[in-house]
């Protein structure tokens, strides 16, 4: 009986994932995909329909080009968007951002609230619990928020401990345990750059296979690698600390306390030191710095040209190393450094193609922009993916 229950759960999750990626499908499509009998598909689909997770749709709602079920002409199956929801929360400096996505992974509600720049973990838990309680009072979402994902701009392990979050002064903080107790449903904690990277891949079916590497460059330099639709986490969950890859023996002291990190050579602080001779700037000055340097570069300012060239050299060195390690099909670059990145993207492509191991295909180097709620939506997408992940069935059923 246990084996039958396990097989049923795996097949149900595979059906849900198939419908998410395809939009809709006939019962015959599903049977072919799962390699099971039509009768088995009917039983599985009926179970999902009773729980409100799937619905029948008419031909005009069906994905163009999808095969039609000869036994039931004109009828297809699709996810029911309003069946369940997933909440994502980004903990930023002085702000909490919330994003709610539905079963089809579409964002349905976003909001933010300004908080103290020195907010404590206890205050964060209280704020998130209050937001969940507010959703429970809304008839659209009451009883349907499946789980909660939270991002922090720091190092997180697999157990939800915030190992180090210097910008908020948190260290060795167990955020997960009190959060789950306060909201009464499954929760998890992720690094913000990793969540944003995963969310970007999750919305692009063409990137569900292969490997993509992301670098998000601002005051810091976060990153992530997503392979076959999964975020690489490593033994303790901290794989995404790509900004602390050592690319030199010296340089300014990084936020981690070491020298020679990628972050200390390509972040906005590094650009400020190179261009202005100091990194003692107000936050608003940092926010405007990349666009200012790009404008001066385009005007022929020699200091700006030299600063951009120095940054490009370090960044190309790092991307070559990442390409040799991960063998990605695509390297995405984004963040507050965007205006400067747009100046050097073509040169980076040439340098990376010339610098990787001979014979390896060069990855495509692309720019991507981070929207205000990208991290919150990304961590909600991780929660969503767990609902569809058949490889987690044993763990989820045990929990």
Same domain, 245 and 394: no
Residue 69 tokens read as 């079920």
Per-residue pLDDT at 240: 67
Establish if 51 belongs to a structural domain: yes
Establish if 190 belongs to a structural domain: no
Kindly report the number of other CB atoms within 10 A of residue 54's CB atom.
25
Same domain, 300 and 245: yes
Same domain, 252 and 355: yes
- Rounded-to-integer distance, Cα 113 and Cα 130, Å: 12
Half-sphere exposure of 289 (CA within 13 A, CB side): 30
Which of 53, 79, 105 terminates a domain? The answer is 79
- Rounded-to-integer distance, Cα 195 and Cα 183, Å: 21
Same domain, 362 and 382: no
Structural domain count, the chain: 3
- Rounded-to-integer distance, Cα 146 and Cα 185, Å: 7
Same domain, 117 and 138: yes
Establish if 195 belongs to a structural domain: no
Same domain, 351 and 219: yes
Partner residues linked to 147 by β-bridges? 86
For the chain, list the strands marked E by DSSP. 54-57, 76-79, 85-91, 95-101, 107-114, 145-152, 155-156, 161-165, 170-174, 187-191, 211-217, 221-227, 230-231, 330-334, 364-367
- Rounded-to-integer distance, Cα 35 and Cα 355, Å: 44
Partner residues linked to 156 by β-bridges? 162
- Edge-to-edge strands, sheet with 161-165: 155-156, 161-165, 170-174
Per-residue pLDDT at 2: 54
Half-sphere exposure of 322 (CA within 13 A, CB side): 34
Which of 35, 60, 79 terminates a domain? The answer is 79
Partner residues linked to 91 by β-bridges? 96
CA angle 393, 183, 115 (to 5 degrees): 125
- Rounded-to-integer distance, Cα 123 and Cα 173, Å: 13
| CATH number of residue 110's parent domain | 3.30.420.40
Q: Which of 93, 99, 336 is nearest to 199 (CA)?
A: 99
Question: β-strand 364-367 against 54-57: which pairing, if any?
Answer: unpaired
Q: Residue 331: what are its φ and ψ, rounded to 5°?
A: -115, 120
The parent domain of residue 116 ranges over: 85-185+374-398
CA angle 31, 393, 23 (to 5 degrees): 40
Same domain, 214 and 361: yes
Same domain, 250 and 150: no
Half-sphere exposure of 359 (CA within 13 A, CB side): 0
**53 within 8 A of 15, measured Cβ to Cβ:** no
Q: Which of 220, 107, 241 is nearest to 163 (CA)?
A: 241
Model pTM?
0.82
**352 within 8 A of 323, measured Cβ to Cβ:** yes
Same domain, 46 and 163: no
Would you write out the chain's pLDDT as a tens digit for each of its 399 residues?
456 778 888 889 899 988 988 888 999 999 998 888 989 999 999 999 999 999 998 754 444 444 445 445 557 999 999 999 999 999 998 999 999 999 999 999 999 999 998 999 999 999 999 999 999 999 999 999 999 999 998 889 888 899 988 888 899 999 999 999 999 999 999 988 889 888 888 877 666 678 999 998 988 888 888 888 788 877 776 666 788 899 999 888 888 889 999 999 999 999 999 999 999 999 899 999 999 999 999 999 999 999 999 999 999 999 999 999 999 999 999 989 999 999 999 999 999 999 999 999 999 999 988 788 999 999 999 999 887 775 554 455 445
3-state secondary structure of 288: helix
Question: β-strand 330-334 against 364-367: which pairing, if any?
Answer: parallel
Per-residue pLDDT at 199: 87
**141 within 8 A of 87, measured Cβ to Cβ:** no
């Amino acid at each position: 009986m246990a084996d039958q229950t396990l097989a049923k759960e795996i097949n149900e999750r595979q059906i849900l994932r198939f419908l998410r990626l395809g939009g809709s499908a006939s019962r015959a499509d599903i049977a072919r995909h799962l390699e099971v009998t039509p009768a088995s598909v009917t039983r599985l689909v009926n179970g999902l329909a009773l729980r409100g997770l799937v619905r029948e749709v008419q031909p005009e709602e069906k994905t163009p080009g999808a095969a039609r079920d000869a036994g039931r002409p004109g009828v297809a199956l699709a996810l029911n968007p309003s069946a369940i929801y997933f909440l994502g929360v980004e903990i930023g400096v002085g702000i909490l951002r919330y994003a709610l996505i539905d079963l089809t992974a579409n964002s349905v509600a976003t909001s933010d609230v300004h908080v103290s720049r020195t907010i404590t973990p206890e205050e964060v838990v209280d704020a998130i619990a209050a937001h969940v309680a507010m959703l429970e009072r809304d008839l659209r979402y009451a009883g349907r928020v499946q789980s909660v994902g939270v991002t922090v701009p720091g190092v997180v392990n697999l157990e939800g401990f915030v190992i180090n979050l210097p910008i908020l002064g948190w260290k060795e903080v167990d955020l997960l345990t009190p959060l789950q107790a306060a909201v009464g449903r499954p929760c998890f904690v992720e690094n913000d750059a990793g969540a944003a990277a995963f969310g970007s891949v999750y919305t692009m079916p063409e990137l569900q296979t292969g490997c993509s590497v992301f670098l998000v460059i601002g005051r810091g330099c976060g990153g992530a690698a997503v392979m076959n639709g999964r975020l690489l986490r490593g033994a303790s969950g901290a794989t995404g600390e790509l900004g602390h890859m050592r690319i030199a023996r010296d340089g300014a002291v990084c936020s981690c306390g070491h020298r020679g990190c990628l972050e200390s050579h390509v972040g906005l602080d590094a650009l400020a030191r190179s261009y202005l001779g100091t990194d003692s700037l107000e936050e608003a000055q940092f926010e405007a710095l990349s666009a200012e340097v790009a404008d001066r570069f385009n005007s022929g300012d020699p200091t700006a040209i030299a600063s951009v060239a120095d940054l490009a050299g370090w960044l190309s060195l790092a991307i070559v190393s990442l390409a040799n390690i991960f063998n990605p099909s695509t390297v995405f670059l984004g963040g507050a450094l965007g205006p400067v990145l747009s100046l050097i993207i073509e040169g980076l492509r040439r340098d990376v193609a010339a610098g990787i191991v001979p014979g390896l295909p060069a990855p495509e180097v692309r720019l991507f922009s981070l929207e205000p709620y990208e991290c919150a939506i990304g961590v909600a997408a991780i929660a969503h993916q767990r609902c569809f992940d058949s490889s987690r069935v044993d763990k989820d059923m045990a929990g």
